[in-house]
Amino acid sequence: MTDSAVELTRGFKEGKWTAVETTQLFLDRINANESKVHAFLSVDADRALADARKVDEKREAGESLGRLAGIPVAVKDLICTQEWTTTCGSKMLETYRPPYDATVVEKLQAADAILIGKTNLDEFAMGSSTEHSAFGRTHNPWDLERVAGGSSGGAAACVAADMALLSLGTDTGGSIRQPAAFCGVVGLKPTYGRVSRRGLIAFASSLDQIGPLAWTAEDTALLLETIAGHDPADSTSAPREVPSYSDTLNQPLKGLRIGIIEDHFEEGLNHEISQAIQTLIQWLEDAGAIPEPVRLPHSRYGIATYYVVASSEASSNLARYDAAHYGYRTSNEDAAENLEAMYERSRSEALGNEVKRRIMLGTYALSSGYYDAYYLNALKVRRLIRDDFESAFQKVDLLLGPTTPSAAFRAGEKSTDPLSMYLEDIYTVLANLAGVPAVAFPCGQTGEGLPISAQLWGPAFEEGRLLQVVHQFQSHTEWHKKRPSFS
């Protein structure tokens, strides 16, 4: 059976296989590989097979079907699913069952997709390795001793391990693209407002965005077409029509101006990654694109700006978890003395160290006497970073650089050094700060056989052009066809 959602859809129409057969195949793969990878926090086989039977019955009856009919899709466990536990990778929400489906889940169901499971993540999406999940880390399918990236580590790893064809992750500072890079798949962060955030449990509301992960640009386009679009229930959702990203994939690259971000090829970038991207640049030039050097003067402030803004918004958003309305509440008898003791004990017991660290950073940045020095200044620098992108896009059509400074690192290697971990996002946070779309895609391998990833940025709402470049590259290369040997 194919590992392409587009090809699988054609096979359904030609009667080569049924939705039940396909779903059972992926459930079997989960049974075989999940104990090694730990990509999922929950899998509902009965629900998935029941949904697949409905798809087959509709097909046999000649009824119209959605564009993802019979396709297994995994969903990051930060996205609300009605009557299905949504934990955010946290003990705080270990038993939480949302009363409604997120808009993207409603769209998947309307498209007759098969929701096969909820994927693991760094707690409340705060992390770059999925080592901060309260329920155990996700292992990288390419090397089980290495991390899968984060925070959407489970969403990337389940695709890389062939346990789902498509998955949904979320990206606040690189949380789709960085794990996609480590796991050798395609991961796209859409323009802020392109995909509804209703039902996405918030980390940093001005940065969060839901997006697709898949093996190919073609499958990524299919999933993005399904979930994108205006949502009146989300005040940040953009009232714009959704183009057919699939229809523009085969357009040639001749004359396309691609800015090479010189700032991202300086100290700190792994030599093998630099060489792989130089090879990619040469390929683009041979394909008719026009590479041009570009500078983003304020990119050096990206990490500092991001961690002030994101931590401040996290401090505000996570204040709702007070153990009074829902979520974990301490059973310690001493906490029954007063309300404040109950708050303190419950949050101390239920939240992990990384979440606590970011809440404290954000609370400090927002506190009286420090707001202007930290949060307000961070917003001003964020504006300058956005201006850098706008200026660059007046000269070029797209921007190109590495996704990560290194390939997947070993588990535990950076967990005791928060700053080192934060620097893993040095090339990805800029897209979130500027609100522009960006895509990560495999373009090589290290000498140890680990995936190497490149990153493309585009102007707002130009996801189609990003996917066009990736598709053209994948049509002439084999990197996206490489698979981890264990599976």
Cα–Cα distance list, 437 to 35, 88, 114, 174 (Å): 34, 24, 27, 11
Over the stretch 145-182, which tens digit does the pLDDT of each residue have? 999 999 999 999 999 999 999 999 999 999 999 999 99
Over the stretch 52-102, which tens digit does the pLDDT of each residue have? 999 999 999 999 999 999 999 999 999 999 989 999 999 999 999 999 999
Length of the chain: 487
Over the stretch 225-243, which tens digit does the pLDDT of each residue have? 999 999 999 999 999 999 9
Cα–Cα distance list, 128 to 182, 309, 374, 404, 423 (Å): 11, 17, 23, 11, 9
Active site residues: 76, 151, 175
Question: Rounded to an integer, what distance in angstroms lies between the CA atom of residue 182 and that of residue 403?
Answer: 9
Question: Rounded to an integer, what distance in angstroms lies between the CA atom of residue 32 and that of residue 209?
Answer: 32
Over the stretch 408-451, which tens digit does the pLDDT of each residue have? 999 999 988 888 898 899 999 999 999 999 999 999 999 999 99
Question: Rounded to an integer, what distance in angstroms lies between the CA atom of residue 82 and that of residue 204?
Answer: 23
Domains of the chain: 5-242+473-481 (3.90.1300.10), 300-379 (no CATH)
β-strand pairing of 451-457 with 290-294? unpaired
Over the stretch 265-304, which tens digit does the pLDDT of each residue have? 988 999 999 999 999 999 999 999 999 999 999 999 999 9
Residues 168 and 219: beta-carbon distance below 8 Å: no
Question: Rounded to an integer, what distance in angstroms lies between the CA atom of residue 271 and that of residue 443?
Answer: 14
Residues 157 and 148: beta-carbon distance below 8 Å: yes
Give the HSE-up count for residue 256: Cα atoms under 13 Å, Cβ half-sphere.
24
Please report the pLDDT score of residue 155 as a whole number.
Answer: 98
Both tokens of residue 441?
Answer: 């895609």
Over the stretch 385-418, which tens digit does the pLDDT of each residue have? 999 999 999 999 999 999 999 999 999 999 888 8
Give the HSE-up count for residue 9: Cα atoms under 13 Å, Cβ half-sphere.
19
